[in-house]
């Protein structure tokens, strides 16, 4: 294997707090070619849309800014992002054409895929982060990480994950900060030899299980076989992960300073939970443990969404769904706007952390594309997705604008633009018909 420069950097990280040793690391990475800096992508999603009251007295709580182009002003909802306006673009008017044909609450599944859900099982297609991870995710310990506040996959059209495999299978999201931390930075048990032999055993075991399972499959009825193929695909994928772990065995996981991380935060402490998830994504990027992350803040299923009550717990009065429904009422626009603002504040914290962390001659944010938004404008409306595209300044983005589009521009053009900036060699994505020229430098 041709070892890239950053592997050596990892070795230096052994036993030290990353935050402490950064100045030293900076010397190294400056010497390395700037052109080789990693390119990253991260997507953060929230459901049910935003405050967009048409009434003048509620104008200051509208999520979308006033004005257009470079001369726009944030309203209250996005004020926390003002210090970052040079690093981001607000996009309006976009939506997935396929999303416009399905129910108001059905669209979270396709935000990153643009798919037409097909067949009896309503199969999805591959998500943006996974395409990128497939092509250029090979250089990190983890191809990608998938997070959400509810966790798991949820159910079709009400999913609690943003990421889908090539075959359209949902990837379960992790909702416990401690599990994320353990995967990324936790110490593996046993000596290196023990770990190696366990990996070898895993490989043999999975081979044998796969063979055995094929014979089980043969005995099943047709419908059962279709369902059972999920299992076979999973075995194959984890075989690949085992191989990957073998390659990474000699490189210790980075050690990070866990002080200030609320690793045991859960649905009873939403503010800490979300902050910690953002922190973990930041640390994952900073340590180059992965370059692709998705994080779903809440899903559109009251029946399973444990995050629906977060605004209530945080003093915003109603559940996230009820806040969204109230958005057109006199006091509702403000209530929803304040919740929008709270989310923007947390998001701004994440962007700032990325921006304020040096990497090479720039900072982490200028090599990280962050997409933030929803697939509803207000509660049941599947058009005009509220969208913010941030970061990636040194990957060819031109920021600082508020751009409006009409329905001729499919939302997937954003995805395609992102893939192009990541230099992922694909010609198209979903139903995209071009790049968003206006945001490309």
Find the binding residues for other proteins in span 197-216 (CB under 8 A).
Answer: 197-198, 200-202, 204-205, 208-209, 211-213, 216
- Number of residues in contact with other proteins, rule: CB under 8 A? 82
Q: Return the ∠ at Cα 411 (arms to 66 and 118), rounded to 5°.
A: 145
Strand partners, 71: 68
Q: Contacts with other proteins in 269-298 (CB under 8 A)?
A: none
Among 166, 227, 345, 398, binds other proteins (CB under 8 A): 227
Binding of residue 308 to other proteins (CB under 8 A): yes
What end-to-end distance do the CA atoms of the chain give, in Å?
35
Among 43, 90, 136, 153, binds other proteins (CB under 8 A): 153
Binding of residue 255 to other proteins (CB under 8 A): no
Among 13, 74, 75, 106, binds other proteins (CB under 8 A): 106
The piece of 87-95, 276-284, 299-307, 385-393 that touches other proteins (CB under 8 A) is 299-307
Among 3, 303, 406, 425, binds other proteins (CB under 8 A): 303
Q: Pick from 270, 311, 234, 48: which is nearest to 158 by CA?
A: 48
Structure tokens at 412: 């997937």
- What residues contact 352, with CB distance under 8 A and at least 6 apart? 83, 84
Question: Which CB contacts under 8 angstroms, 24+ apart, belong to 237-244?
Answer: 237/165, 238/206, 239/203, 239/206, 239/207, 239/210, 242/199, 242/202, 242/203, 242/206, 243/203, 244/141
Angle between helices 177-185 and 270-286 (to 10 degrees): 10
Q: Contacts with other proteins in 356-395 (CB under 8 A)?
A: 379-382
H or E element in which residue 244 lies? helix 222-248
Among 326, 373, 386, 410, binds other proteins (CB under 8 A): 326
Q: How far, in Å, CA of 308 to CA of 318, rounded?
A: 9
Binding of residue 172 to other proteins (CB under 8 A): yes
Binding of residue 102 to other proteins (CB under 8 A): yes
Among 219, 259, 406, 408, binds other proteins (CB under 8 A): 219
The piece of 102-110, 249-257, 286-294, 420-428 that touches other proteins (CB under 8 A) is 102-110
The piece of 124-132, 146-154, 363-371, 405-413 that touches other proteins (CB under 8 A) is 146-154
Shortest distance (Å) from residue 317 CB to other proteins: 8
């Amino acid at each position: 294997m041709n070892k890239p420069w950053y592997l050596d950097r990892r070795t230096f990280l052994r036993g030290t707090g990353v935050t402490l040793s950064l100045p030293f690391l900076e010397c190294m990475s400056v010497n390395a070619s700037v052109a080789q800096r990693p390119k990253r992508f991260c997507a953060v999603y929230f459901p049910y849309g935003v405050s967009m009251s048409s009434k003048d007295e509620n104008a200051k709580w509208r999520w979308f800014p006033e004005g257009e182009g470079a001369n726009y002003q944030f309203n209250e909802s996005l004020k926390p992002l003002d210090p970052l306006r040079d690093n981001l673009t607000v996009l309006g008017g976009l939506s997935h054409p396929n999303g416009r044909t399905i129910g108001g609450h059905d669209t979270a599944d396709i935000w990153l895929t643009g798919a037409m859900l097909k067949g009896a099982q309503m199969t999805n297609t591959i998500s943006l982060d996974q395409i990128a991870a497939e092509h250029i995710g090979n250089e990190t310990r983890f191809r990608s990480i998938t997070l959400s506040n509810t966790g798991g996959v949820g159910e079709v059209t009400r999913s609690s994950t943003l990421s889908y495999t090539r075959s359209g299978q949902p990837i379960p999201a992790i909702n416990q900060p401690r599990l994320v931390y353990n995967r990324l930075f936790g110490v593996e048990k046993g000596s290196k030899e023990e770990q190696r032999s366990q990996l070898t055993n895993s490989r043999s075991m999975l081979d044998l299980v796969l063979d055995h399972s094929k014979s089980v499959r043969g005995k099943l009825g047709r419908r059962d076989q279709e369902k059972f193929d999920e299992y076979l695909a999973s075995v194959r994928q984890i075989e690949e992960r085992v191989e990957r772990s073998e390659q990474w065995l000699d490189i210790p996981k980075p050690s990070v300073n866990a002080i200030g991380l609320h690793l045991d935060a859960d649905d009873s402490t939403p503010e800490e939970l979300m902050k910690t998830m953002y922190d973990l994504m930041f640390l994952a990027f900073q340590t180059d443990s992965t370059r692709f992350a998705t994080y779903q803040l809440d899903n559109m299923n009251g029946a399973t969404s444990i995050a629906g009550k977060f605004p209530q717990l945080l003093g915003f009065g109603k559940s996230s769904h009820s806040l969204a429904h109230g958005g057109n009422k006199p006091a509702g626009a403000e209530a929803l706007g304040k919740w929008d603002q709270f989310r923007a504040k947390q998001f701004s914290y994440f962007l700032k952390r990325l921006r304020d962390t040096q990497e090479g001659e720039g900072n982490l944010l200028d090599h990280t594309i962050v997409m933030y938004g929803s697939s509803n404008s207000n509660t049941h409306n599947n058009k005009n997705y509220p969208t913010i595209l941030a970061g990636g300044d040194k990957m060819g983005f031109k920021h600082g604008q508020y751009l409006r589009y009409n329905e001729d521009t499919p939302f997937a053009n954003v995805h395609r633009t992102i893939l192009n900036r990541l230099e992922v060699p694909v010609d198209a994505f979903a139903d995209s018909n071009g790049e968003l020229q206006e945001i490309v430098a």
